[in-house]
């Protein structure tokens, strides 16, 4: 062999080795692997750097745009990932990080995920998934039953029927909502006479054939942004997502909803879907689903419920009543990577009527042939991993009782936290928890008193100042890295719907304790006294004093 040939042969053999020879037990990567298995919390604690580095700094480690020419050792990349990626990632499992919807995972999810990845099944067809297909159908059946409570005979008939589907698995809530509205849109303009259906001829001809000027999706102002995205994707346009006003508890105003529907009807706009929210992303409130179902029936609209967050509340005997009416929905979105405690990348939608999915059925020659059991014929995605195995395991290992405990504890912890906030005179509870989400802000007693008596202009000014303070506290607390609450903008009725920035807290991590919550509040108060916001704070106090002085004319003038 020449030298060149020899080196080519060596490269080929090296390549072969990465597919055949496991990492040595003492290698960097194997040690990480074992570390994670033995002590995940410790691994995260040790390797994720608490204090946040500026993202522009972090970017420098990821600035090369050229794919490297020469292979490197696995250990080199493992070390790079530890130092540069893991170190600067977010400790989503931390019990002090209560600002997002990602919680700690049950330990068993890790080795189970490894099995899933090792098997590398593709759920698009049975040829690459075999038993995973009936397993996924069972998971869809179980969630369907949790929502719709049909009898066993119903599930015996439909759960494994290859020509029907009780739902569709996907990567998350956004795709689940999109799938539901795709079904709704196609069913709103079905084949009739010479018209072969919207799915075949498109929206333009559908509206012309049926004599409509447009089609609308209605949802409360607190609906998830994925619904507006879906309206865009589906060709309806973002304008067709009609936001409906909410009551003071962030739940859709059903009178306003009905009025909007009537208005749209007059404008010859088809009320295609009404979406209820079971757990608004920002405030965790639940729409009055029963009345919404009635309105949907009245207008012949598809009734979808986005229960991406709140769906698992159905596990709780105590709180499942909060979702009353969900069983009347035509479709319901669940996110498994939220309160089913499955790793990121698992959502699903269930359909009350097993025939519904046929509105989006697709076939091809080499897979998902007609009559096959292939799940790919009714999913939006094509190739998909076997995430349903993790949902299956959660449902079996934790069971209804386990999930009930998680749900109940979350809601009760949110109530406790709300009481803690209310008990203080320097914090203001903005939205009371209905599920396990609440919002509040830092607001000194004097400022609260001032806001109670301020006129609209004064109130706006104070709130605007508070917004800057809220933003500062939230951002700085995050950067310090000990705790994390998120922030959002709400328009509270008692401040004349002025946009107020608030801290948003999600209490889904079972490891979050009362002490942790106390520490979070303490740090926020401390940050309110920080040098970086002192000027703003002085202005705030001046404004508050001025309002209070003005409103106490008698004492002043005396």
Q: Cα–Cα distance between 208 and 230 in angstroms, integer?
A: 22
Question: What's the closest the beta carbon of residue 142 comes to its own copies, in angstroms?
Answer: 5
For strands 214-220 and 269-277, give the pairing.
Answer: parallel
The least distance separating its own copies from the CB of residue 545, rounded to whole angstroms, comes to: 31
Spatial CA neighbour of 336 closest among 114, 143, 530, 124: 143
Nearer to its own copies by Cβ, of 106 and 310: the residue is 106
Q: Which is nearer to its own copies, 295 or 490 (CB)?
A: 490
Distance in Å, CB of 242 to its own copies, minimum: 13
Question: Of 162 and 548, which CB lies nearer to its own copies in the complex structure?
Answer: 162
Cβ 444 to its own copies shortest distance, Å: 25
How far is the C-alpha of 507 from the C-alpha of 97, rounded, in Å?
A: 9
DSSP-H helix ranges across 121-235: 132-148, 152-158, 173-188, 198-201, 203-210, 225-233
Specify whether the CB–CB gap between 293 and 237 falls below 8 A.
Answer: no
Question: What is the spatial distance between Cα 496 and Cα 291, in angstroms, rounded to a whole number?
Answer: 27
Q: Tell me whether residue 163 or residue 424 sits nearer to its own copies (CB atom).
A: 163
Q: Burial-class residue 547 by CB neighbours within 10 Å (0-12, 13-18, 19+).
A: buried
Of 344 and 496, which CB lies nearer to its own copies in the complex structure? 344
* Structure-token pair, residue 275: 């979406």
Q: How far is the CB of 212 from its own copies (least distance, A)?
A: 9
Q: Shortest Cβ distance from residue 510 to its own copies (Å)?
A: 5
Count of C-beta atoms within a 10 Å radius of residue 304:
28
Q: Please choose, from the candidates 394, 388, 409, the residue with its C-alpha nearest in 3D space to the C-alpha of residue 316.
A: 409
Nearer CB in complex with its own copies: 401/554: 401
**Smallest distance, its own copies to C-beta of residue 541, A:** 28
Helical residues (DSSP H) of 234-387, grouped into ranges: 254-266, 289-298
The token pair at 342 is 């499955």
207 touches 214 (CB < 8 A): yes
Q: How far is the CB of 352 from its own copies (least distance, A)?
A: 15
Nearer to its own copies, 156 or 355 (CB): 156
- Quick one: 361 or 446, whose CB is closer to its own copies? 361
């Amino acid at each position: 062999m020449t030298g060149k040939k020899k080196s080519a042969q060596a490269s080929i053999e090296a390549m072969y080795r990465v597919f055949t020879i496991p990492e040595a037990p003492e290698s960097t990567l194997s040690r990480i692997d074992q570390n994670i298995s033995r002590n995940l919390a410790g691994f995260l604690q040790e390797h994720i750097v608490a204090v946040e580095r500026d993202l522009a700094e972090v970017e420098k480690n990821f600035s090369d745009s050229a794919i490297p020419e020469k292979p490197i050792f696995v250990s080199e990349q493992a070390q790079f990932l530890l130092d540069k990626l893991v170190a600067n990632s977010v400790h989503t499992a931390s019990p002090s990080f209560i600002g997002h919807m990602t919680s700690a995972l049950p330990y068993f999810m890790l080795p189970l995920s490894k099995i899933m990845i090792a098997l590398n099944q593709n759920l698009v067809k049975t040829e690459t998934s075999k038993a995973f297909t009936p397993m996924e159908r069972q998971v869809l059946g179980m969630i369907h039953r949790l929502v719709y409570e049909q009898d066993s005979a119903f599930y015996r008939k439909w759960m494994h029927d290859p020509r029907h589907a009780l739902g569709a698995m996907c990567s998350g809530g956004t795709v689940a909502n999109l799938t539901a509205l795709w079904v709704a849109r196609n069913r709103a303009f079905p084949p009739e006479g010479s018209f072969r259906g919207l799915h075949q001829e498109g929206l333009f001809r559908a509206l012309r054939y049926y004599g409509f000027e447009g089609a609308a999706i209605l949802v409360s102002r607190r609906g998830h942004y994925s619904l507006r995205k879906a309206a865009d994707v589906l060709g309806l346009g973002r304008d067709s997502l009609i936001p409906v006003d909410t009551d003071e508890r962030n739940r859709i105003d059903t009178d306003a909803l009905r009025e909007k529907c009537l208005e749209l009807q007059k404008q010859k706009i088809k009320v295609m879907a009404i979406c209820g929210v079971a757990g608004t992303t920002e405030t965790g409130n639940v729409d009055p689903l029963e009345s919404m179902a009635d309105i949907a029936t009245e207008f012949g609209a598809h009734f979808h419920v986005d229960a991406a967050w709140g769906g698992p509340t159905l596990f709780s005997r105590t709180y499942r009543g909060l979702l009353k009416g969900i069983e009347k929905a035509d479709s319901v979105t669940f996110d498994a990577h939220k309160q089913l405690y499955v790793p990121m990348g698992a959502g699903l939608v269930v359909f009350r009527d097993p025939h519904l999915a046929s509105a989006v059925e697709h076939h091809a020659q080499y897979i998902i042939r007609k009559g096959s059991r292939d799940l790919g014929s009714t999913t939006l995605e094509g190739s998909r991993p076997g995430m349903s195995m993790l949902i299956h395991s959660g449902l079996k290992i934790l069971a209804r009782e386990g999930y009930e405990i998680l749900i109940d504890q979350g809601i009760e912890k949110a109530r406790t936290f709300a009481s803690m906030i209310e008990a203080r005179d320097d914090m203001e509870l903005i939205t009371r928890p209905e599920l396990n989400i609440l919002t509040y802000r830092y607001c000194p007693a004097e400022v609260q008193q001032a806001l109670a008596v301020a006129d609209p202009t004064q109130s706006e000014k104070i709130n605007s100042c508070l917004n800057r303070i809220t933003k500062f506290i939230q951002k700085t607390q995050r950067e310090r890295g000990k705790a994390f609450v998120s922030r959002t903008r709400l328009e509270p009725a008692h401040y004349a719907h002025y946009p107020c920035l608030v801290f948003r807290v999600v209490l889904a991590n079972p490891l979050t304790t009362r002490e942790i919550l106390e520490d979070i509040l303490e740090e926020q108060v401390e940050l309110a006294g920080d040098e970086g916001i002192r000027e703003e704070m002085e202005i705030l106090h001046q404004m508050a004093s001025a309002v209070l002085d003005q409103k106490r004319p008698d004492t002043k003038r005396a």
